[in-house]
Chains A and B, each alone.
Chain A
Amino acid sequence: MTHVSPVVQRLRITFGKSGPLKYTSNLDMAKIWERVLRRAGLPILYTRGFNTRPRIQLAMPLPLGITSECEILDIALRESIEIDAAMLTASLLRVAPHGLSIHAIDDVDLREGTVQSRIISAEYRIHFVDPLEAGVLQERIADILLRKTIVVEKVRKRKRSVMDLRPLIIGLRIDETGDLIAHLSVGERGNMRPDQLIEAMGLADYHHHAHRFKLHLLPK
């Protein structure tokens, strides 16, 4: 038996989440996209079988409560369409929920591997709504970067384990507006969330917003 892939075309959408959508989990976000694509009338490809699912994939989960402008969605199409990024963006946005933004739409080579495996780190801008005293942020950054290890306890499937977060911090700095810019590892090789960083810096009591603005990919 020969298997011919029914995938005719692949699209990659770079999108953003803000407003109420930041409280939507990754799984629910996939459902939102499925419905946006259906409303827009895009010929998405469905998996075969009893419980058919659309062949769409979110590249890197975004923790709940964080806004973003750099999320990646890969879509398989069953019919090819002409890509006019501006027009396609407009037709998707017309049927998108409040808080969804689209930053790029690209054609992806059919032979290219999945994008997940190439994502290694992410950059976040963390804005403190509760003002910190002058110099505190600078101080905490210096402190944490000096530490050799940041051991935290993790409970997963009722099993306790310890992990070291320190190697997952790639860089910390303060930008011109005073926000904390954090460059952290993400993905299977080690994943650190902004809230873990803020906790480790002892700043969890200060109300803050985190925004993911860049995903770093390994070259193809």
Chain B
Amino acid sequence: MSAGAAGWLQAGLLVVALVAVHRPLGDWMARVFTSPRHGRVEKLVYRAVGVDADAEQRWPTYLRSVLAFSLVSVLFLYLLQRLQSLLPWSNGMPAVESGSAWNTAVSFVTNTNWQGYAGESTMGHLVQMAGLAVQNFLSAAVGLAVAVALVRGFARTRTDRLGNAWVDITRAVTRVLLPLSVLAAVVLVLGGVVQNLSAGTDATTLGGASQFLPGGPVASQEAIKQLGTNGGGFYNANSAHPFEGPSAWISLFQVFLMLVIPFSLPRTFGRMVGDKRQGLAIVGVMATLATASLALNSWAQARAGGAALQLAGAATEGQEVRFGGPLSALFGTATTLTSTGATNSLHDSYTPTGGLLTMANMMLGEVAPGGVGSGLYGMLVLAVIAVFVAGLMVGRTPEYLGKKLGGREMTMASLYVLTTPAIVLIGTAVAMATAAGRGSMLNTGSHGLSEVLYAFTSAGNNNGSAFAGLSANTPFYNTALGLAMAFGRFVPIVLVLALAGRLAQQGRTPATAGTLPTHQVLFVGLLTAVVLVVVGLTYFPALSLGPLAEALS
């Protein structure tokens, strides 16, 4: 079988699996977030945490809960790293340096999982398990909660209540993320991913040299790392490391894990607003963009672009033989279209066009299908923009799902769309204007600029992957990227919850003959165009100086 045919078959298998799972999982999540009943274990959680689970919150309170939870999470994770040398199961690792610890704490709490450090030489097992992996669960749960709050804004009428953040976060963990992670971890273990507490083994190779073989509770962390669209590798090489990605089918399974919740959430949305066709339209936009991106990237990576790769004969630099080209391109596409950022190949060494696409995927705002929760709320905000644009064209007051989109609603949506590009472009500009920013580039010329642009794109969009040649573990990048991740996560969350609060207070405008139908192919096309034009074009000047210049030279 040719590599290309095998590539399309494995993508086909992935699509079949996602289509089969998105309905039951989407329906299940809708039940999880609408059921009035608390589980027995959940009641214990609410008592231990000290919250009244039946008290629904207004949007400012919901926001305060989310922010308080995230703030405490950052502080706790920072402390854990700083105290590492005193903790058990640390394998003699020293305390993490303060700048790196801050960067990593923000990174994992914001669901970014940008890594300035190398896992196997920095983090002991305890910080990995009880710090980083815990935030893999919690940051994904926060994303789910915020998305559900926005959906309630559309689904509810004439109320100032959006639900209870503590209940939503708890249920996201107990009913969705934890059960799925257990199942996924079992599959990963069966596939050969390691799960132990060994400090490592010293082997004597056939050549007579000594080789250190690391240990670690990897499978349990790998499961939620992919499911929660987190992406932070246990080891430096992330999912390319043979202990994280031992075989091709495991790597394909990991792609499935990172896509399954984001692609199921539109179904949840459709259920909760009482019109499954609305969810289908949203998933249609996501699938259109994802398919186009995968096709382009597979095509680009199958040709050896760039002087070095042409000399080698294929784009195998930074690629594992067992995965091969098509599976590497599939993983690279999925990890940048979701906010995962795990890698099974090195994006920095992709062909110029392939590297450009991984960056462009993130620049779309992580909405096709995006991160757990954040992908759905990002796409719904863009749907609001699309409806508004259509309204302008015909001169009507725009409505989406019976909610009028007035000046205040559009202010929130517009600010949402502007926030991330501002962070990315200003951050890149500052880095390129300072010696500290420029000094970290590994590659020269336009590819060097691409490394910096990629870093801020990844941080601002909470992705976490890298053109990893950039030496990011410096005071400048630890600080700047930490800020980019924090603003890139929490400013949009504030805007989304404020928008949700306003939408929930409205009544529902009955649909008339003049209402734009938002469940038809026309709207799918319109929303796709809005994603590409409104969001994508913002970055065109920056892209043309970096990866585009390299691809065309």
The yes or no verdict on A and B being binding partners is no
Could you tell me which B residues sit within 8 Å of A by CB distance?
Answer: none
